[in-house]
A and B are shown apart, each in its own frame.
Chain A
């Protein structure tokens, strides 16, 4: 999972990589503070970069990064960006940074899945177009800092000699960070290089949610931002996956299996419907309790745009008879649920589930056929729209 830049930079700084002087702004009223005389001072002298903190790349091109020459411009930019949606994410935090000068380079250390090692990437140019271009060079490295340093030395041979030691030191620290914090990726683009050393202009750090249990520093970063990392925090707290795709979505999903759930979202969208969420509820871990069904129903019924609920369970191991009972109880216990439910249940105990649900919720369509379930969800949504 991608950290927002300000958290990424906090980790970089803790591992000895220089970052620009900066402050985080979460309150649009920062716009009332015009200059130092009135209280809050901006970091250093201008110009400043005001950057929307959302966990996606390409923020600059999407208008999320603004260069400001005066405090007035900076506060106006913060006011404008906070609360905006940028590439599907709401901006809750802006970073106001002192602008840095230097030559722009690209540096990244990442896990390389095919070689079970690290990949070191270096670009003699940095900037917004680097990721799409062929101007970076990459080499595989064994997963230890000395190996990364050796690999990086080959990649930066073209650089002026007095810069190389600065870049090498940054690369070694980046490798330490990746290995100690169990990251998937640490990318600095641009990396500003000058005679004084290297400064990270941006930070793209991808953390491993599976390792959070033994990474207290990462756990603390996630916990501190309940809104920005809402999906990750939910996964860690609940033990299953739920991601809101569209707060104005129409179709709520109570589904098991990550791949099938993703595919159902695609299939619904292809039928002109707006799926609300992704969900892998993991029926195997329910252990006879309707709690998970109720949690998901609670989240999806909180959205007034909801028109229908699609339940889909392909039971290899799960006994659908038991799941049918849990679903019926979950629906009973969710008074806020006022839209039709279509349940696609196939596998072990499907007949028993059909019997239980027909008895307790005669209005619910229960089928083994996924195409039928999708068509009927489409029909319900279409009718309630009209």
Chain B
């Protein structure tokens, strides 16, 4: 689903009359995303960000044929928003909310899996195929078509990497913010085969952080997959305090589990190159691909 996204993919924004919804619908349209409508519980608004507003996803999908939704719902309302979107036939949903309760995220994950759909988030700036489509709010200054597939738990740290690639004249094929939550939609390991089979992607940048085991899981898959592309990884949180979540709910180190050492070791053993600073990562990426 991710690789087939393009400037023609019809997209709706759930919660389009809110402050965030309106702003980001406008910015996504300006980038070239085919926003065809939005939903809102406000019955007095027929249009927002230059597109029609519907009472619910079912009406929006029926009228527009949308297959993708960007849900701009508050964290405690995200579960409901996803259920509504899935029932209307949405195939890919991006949830940007930070702080979706863990057990809600489990319910979302199960519902998405039952529907055979794709979920990106939460706590994510979204995804983009530069030059084609942007779902969410990755900053335009960081986006440029190019050879790197980016997958990142962090928004801001990936902005920094994307920005420096653009400054060096490079860019990205597909950029997916998997988000900083512990329970989420698409994970690093899900994206590895996507990037490996995508002809636009020549190398992969993995922006990880301490906590969870996604980096380890991705490393295990990397060892098994044939048809290699270089993987460059940056892992934040070397100095993180044990037992305390560092901003992202998923960034929690308990004993050895989720530690930087574990992630670095697994990724390195699988053939990825792991960097300790943004500058060293970008320098190597630029040197290898120019």
Contact = CB atoms under 8 A, between A and B. Distances in A.
B42 interface: no
A175 to B, nearest CB: 13
A231 B244 contact: yes
A243 interface: yes
B244 A258 contact: no
Interface in B238-284: 238-249, 251-252, 254-257, 276-279
Given A1-B244, A116-B110, A243-B246, A265 B239 contact: yes
B77 interface: no
A265 to B, nearest CB: 5
A182 B101 contact: yes
B207 A270 contact: no
Contacts of A57: 242-243, 254-255
Contacts of A317: 23-24, 27, 137, 139
B157 A260 contact: yes
A267 interface: yes
B277 to A, nearest CB: 6
A132 B256 contact: yes
A88 interface: yes
Nearest to A142: B110
B209 interface: yes
Interface string A309-320: 000001111000
B241 A88 contact: yes
A317 B27 CA distance: 9
A321 to B, nearest CB: 15
Contact of B141 (A58, A278, A347): A347
A195 interface: no
Interface stretch (B46-54, B56-64, B180-188, B197-205): B180-188
Interface string B169-189: 000000000001011100100
Q: In the complex, which of the residues B163, B234, B245 has the most CB atoms of chain A within 10 Å of its own CB atom?
A: B245
Interface in A218-270: 231, 241, 243, 245, 256-263, 265-267, 269-270
Interface stretch (B65-73, B85-93, B147-155): B147-155
Nearest to A312: B156
Contacts of B137: 316-317
B183 A262 contact: no
Nearest to A143: B106
Contact of B276 (A210, A266, A315): A266
B247 A179 contact: no
A316 B239 contact: no
A241 B277 CA distance: 23
A258 B248 contact: yes
A58 B256 CA distance: 10
Contacts of A243: 241, 244, 246-247
Contacts of A383: none
B154 A259 contact: yes
Nearest to B184: A113
Contact of B156 (A54, A56, A314): A314
Given A208-B101, A314-B139, A314-B159, A116 B237 contact: no
A211 B277 contact: no
A158 to B, nearest CB: 25
B132 interface: no
Contact of B240 (A208, A256, A262): A262
B129 interface: no
A182 B56 CA distance: 29
B154 A211 contact: no
B145 to A, nearest CB: 18
A217 interface: no
B228 interface: no
Interface string A255-293: 011111111011101100001001010000000000000
B244 A269 contact: no
Interface string A51-70: 00011111000000000000
Contacts of B107: 116
Contacts of A278: 240-241, 246-247
A220 to B, nearest CB: 18
Contact of B155 (A56, A231, A257): A257
Nearest to B138: A316
Contacts of B286: none
B246 A262 contact: yes
A315 B257 CA distance: 33
B157 A315 contact: no
Contact of A131 (B245, B256, B278): B256
A214 interface: yes
B17 interface: no
A1 B211 CA distance: 12
Contacts of A179: 103
Contact of B252 (A1, A88, A204): A1
Interface in B208-253: 209-210, 212, 214, 217, 234, 236-249, 251-252
A56 B256 contact: no
Q: Rank and list the top 5 A-B pairs by shortest CB-CB distance, nearest first.
A: A259-B154, A257-B156, A258-B247, A316-B139, A259-B157
Interface of B: 23-24, 27, 75-76, 99-107, 109-110, 113, 125, 137-139, 141-142, 152-160, 163, 180, 182-184, 187, 207, 209-210, 212, 214, 217, 234, 236-249, 251-252, 254-257, 276-279
Given A54-B243, A114-B187, A208-B103, 8 more contacts: A57-B254, A113-B212, A116-B110, A260-B236, A262-B247, A267-B277, A314-B139, A316-B138
10 contacts: A55-B244, A57-B255, A132-B256, A257-B156, A260-B159, A263-B278, A266-B277, A316-B159, A347-B139, A370-B278
